[in-house]
Amino acid sequence: MAGQVFVSGGSGYIAGFLIRQLIAEGWTVHTSIRNLGREAEVRGWLGVDNSKLQFFAADLLGDDGWAEAVAGCSHVAHVASPLPSNAPKDDDELIVPAREGALRALRFAHAAGIKRFVMTSSVAAIAYGHGKTRQHFTEADWTNINSPDAYAYVKSKTIAERAARDWVAANAPDMEYVTVNPSLVLGPLLAPDFSTSLEAIKKLLEGSIPGLPNFGFSVVDVRDVADLHVRCLTAPDMAGERFVAAGPFLWMKDVAAILKDGLGEQARKVPRRKLPDFLVRISALFDPVIAQVVGELGNVRDTSAQHAMDVLGWKTRDPKESIVDTARDMIRLGVVKV
């Protein structure tokens, strides 16, 4: 099955690999970027059949361009959502564009007669606000945004997905709406303009943190996340579905060991020793980014992708491959000097 599909946020990390796979499988793709001045750059690193790819200028907070972008399409993959590298001054800096962008995409998709709408959500909408005693999560779980550990990004993904599901139920019950909820997305890079999700690997490689904090996360490869989106676009009976896209849970010390084993001398700056929790908490007093996630110390948020495996036959590659591929591309593209 292949047709014409709109993928929002075409310059993004997941969207880039999704566009590549869709075109390789015969789809014609419409995609959006905020500034068409970047079209040539993005086409350059996507490296696809340009006759199969058309760009439109569209923004999450404005109506211009959306009707043209979805025109003639049968499917939508709404991937665009803010993912900052720094803590916002106000939560609404993330919440408003995430929620309004999702609702805007849905409204224009519905008006264009789109029947299948796949939205990129996150395990951030699933695994927060349950207390430290909960360690294992599935699609049945929802984040409690009133919890102290629900920082701005977590709130934005939860609020956007809930708002989208409510809108579909009230306004477009005939539309098949489905979400993909990835964990920490790693893997190869298409360009030096890398995703914030790769920041942990960058910091380890460049030795910019003095030790290994007691943080952990489930890892998933960007190529596998793109593949799950394609499966959600094409599989039958997807209405209301929700799929976790996650691999195994790894501590920072596990990631560091994989880097050292896979890269040898190129990983010489990767720290070996653990960073005591009290030092992380002190750092959080001066660094707003660390302050956002200091509550993650010692937390296990293990999200199961069994549902995607059972329903869609999806599978993930070894996280060692994803981590080493991330590092090698960061070195190759000059993102990190080792």
Mean pLDDT of all residues belonging to the chain: 94
Look-up: residue for tokens 């599989």? 235
pLDDT value of residue 85: 65
Structure confidence by residue, pLDDT tens digits, 262-314: 999 999 999 999 999 999 889 888 877 677 778 788 889 999 999 999 999 99
Across 261-273, b (16+ Cβ under 10 Å) vs e yields ebbeebbeebbee
Structure confidence by residue, pLDDT tens digits, 48-70: 999 999 999 999 999 999 999 99
The residue segments making up the domain with residue 182 are: 4-190+219-250+300-318
Structure confidence by residue, pLDDT tens digits, 14-31: 999 999 999 999 999 999
For the chain, the 3-state helix, strand and coil shares in percent, each to the nearest 5, are 45, 15, 40
To the query of whether residue 157 is one of the catalytic residues in this protein, the response is: yes
Residue 199 domain flag:
no
In degrees and rounded to multiples of 5, residue 70 shows phi and psi of -90, -10
Quote the CA–CA distance of 177 and 71 in Å, as a whole number.
Answer: 18
Active-site residue (options: 52, 155, 157, 203): 157
pLDDT value of residue 2: 78
Indicate the length of the chain as a whole number: 338
Residue 255 domain flag:
no
Supply the pTM of this predicted model.
0.95
Q: Regarding predicted confidence, which is higher, 82 or 333?
A: 333
Residue 164 domain flag:
yes
Residue 274 domain flag:
no
Q: Is the pLDDT reported for residue 127 higher than 80?
A: yes
Residue 235 domain flag:
yes
Quote the CA–CA distance of 188 and 221 in Å, as a whole number.
Answer: 8
Q: Report the amino acid identity of residue 269.
A: K
- What CATH number does the domain containing 97 carry? 3.40.50.720
Looking at the 3D structure of the chain, how many domains does it have? 1
At what angle are helices 152-171 and 92-111 packed, to 10 degrees? 20
Residue 230 domain flag:
yes
